[in-house]
Chains A and B, each alone.
Chain A
Amino acid sequence: MGVGTAVGLSGFAFGVTSAGSGLTLLQTCVLSLLVFTGASQFALVGALAAGGSPFTAAAGAFFLGVRNAFYGLRLSQLLALPRAVRPFAAQWVIDETAAVSLAQPTRRSARIGFLVTGLSLYVLWNLTTLLGALGAEAIGDTGAWGLDAAGPAVFLALLAPMLRTGTERMVAGLAVLLGLGLLPVLPAGVPVLVAALAAPAVLWAQGRRRGTPHDGVPHDGVSREDR
């Protein structure tokens, strides 16, 4: 239930943000229908609104989508789907379906959880995107209503739970410095991609400090249970 409400509202926020960024109703809805991974969609319209080239904007969205590959990896073992079904199931491999499926005790309930969560979120996300985009077109100037603050607030809400350790905070801090510091001097869209380098940079610096670049990486418990 909580997941549904959160997704419903962020779908609405996406529709509003996307329309406010200058995308048409059709473009906004195509994104939710065919991309269907929220953070990437927000990143794309944010970068386009800032005047980024289509390829730098898409690259930022792509990197945010990479985490779905890791969900897919876990889910393929858990759900053991037939190969013919996988191309269709792939579109639903997102944060929420992975979280629900991985929390189930049996394969059967994991499959049901994946199906129910995927279907309900897909329908809800696309409906609220449509409503948000229509609403934004109806009220005209989204800035006057403060709706341009919805995008960054969504990012912050997604980011906050990830900032658990000093490493994550260091990466976030460095990324903010790079993203803002380079903004005036580099073409639009590029600073965000350079800021992504904060992740390997911090890992590299930590590896050097420990003197053991690979052994020092903490295990998160996921790989252990797979063996």
Chain B
Amino acid sequence: MNIWIAIGVTVLGCYAVKLAGLLVPAGVLERPLVRRLAALLPVALLAALTAQQTFADGQTLVLDARGVGLAAAAVALMLRAPFLVVVGAAVVVTAGVRALGG
């Protein structure tokens, strides 16, 4: 049930911001400070989420195979690999480390 509540709220919220952009008169969202904040909020959220999904197990911090997998993804990104290869590298390396008992 909790999951359906979260889905419902997310559906409404995400649709509302999309529609708001199309309907709101230009100028309201054009203020430089608002624009800067809107560009930086995803950076903060994505960085925190990446870190948590890599190094968290429940409420404890851990360093396991996912960390190695993410490092592989980072290397792939630096080599300008396509999206497919980046995600694939993380998955394959994580599975590999686990298979070796890491």
Residue numbers of A with Cβ under 8 A of B are 2, 5-6, 9-10, 13, 22-23, 27, 30-31, 34-37, 39-44, 46-48, 50-51, 53-55, 57-58, 60-73, 75-77, 81, 86-87, 89-91, 93-94, 143-160, 162-163, 167-168, 171-176, 178-180, 183-184, 188, 191-192, 195-200, 202-203, 213-214, 217, 219-220, 222-223, 226
How many residue pairs link A and B with beta carbons under 8 A? The number is: 321
Within 8 A of A (CB), among B26-56: 26, 29-30, 32-33, 35-56
Chain B count of residues within 8 A CB distance of the other chain: 72
Chain B hits for A222, CB < 8 A: 35
Q: Could you list some 28 contacts between A and B, CB below 8 A?
A: A6-B84, A35-B7, A37-B14, A46-B53, A50-B56, A51-B58, A54-B6, A55-B5, A57-B6, A58-B6, A64-B41, A69-B20, A73-B24, A76-B22, A87-B19, A150-B87, A153-B73, A158-B46, A162-B43, A172-B47, A175-B51, A180-B51, A188-B58, A192-B52, A196-B41, A199-B37, A217-B33, A222-B35
Residues of B contacting A196 with CB < 8 Å? 41, 44-45, 48
Is A173 a contact partner of B21 (Cβ separation < 8 A)? no
Additional A-B contacts beyond A39-B46, A76-B22, A149-B69 (14; CB < 8 A) = A2-B82, A35-B15, A44-B7, A46-B53, A54-B2, A72-B22, A73-B21, A86-B22, A91-B15, A91-B18, A146-B91, A155-B46, A168-B40, A180-B56
Question: Which chain A residues lie closer than 8 Å to B82 at the CB level?
Answer: 2, 5-6
Once the chains bind, are B47 and A40 in contact (CB under 8 Å)?
no
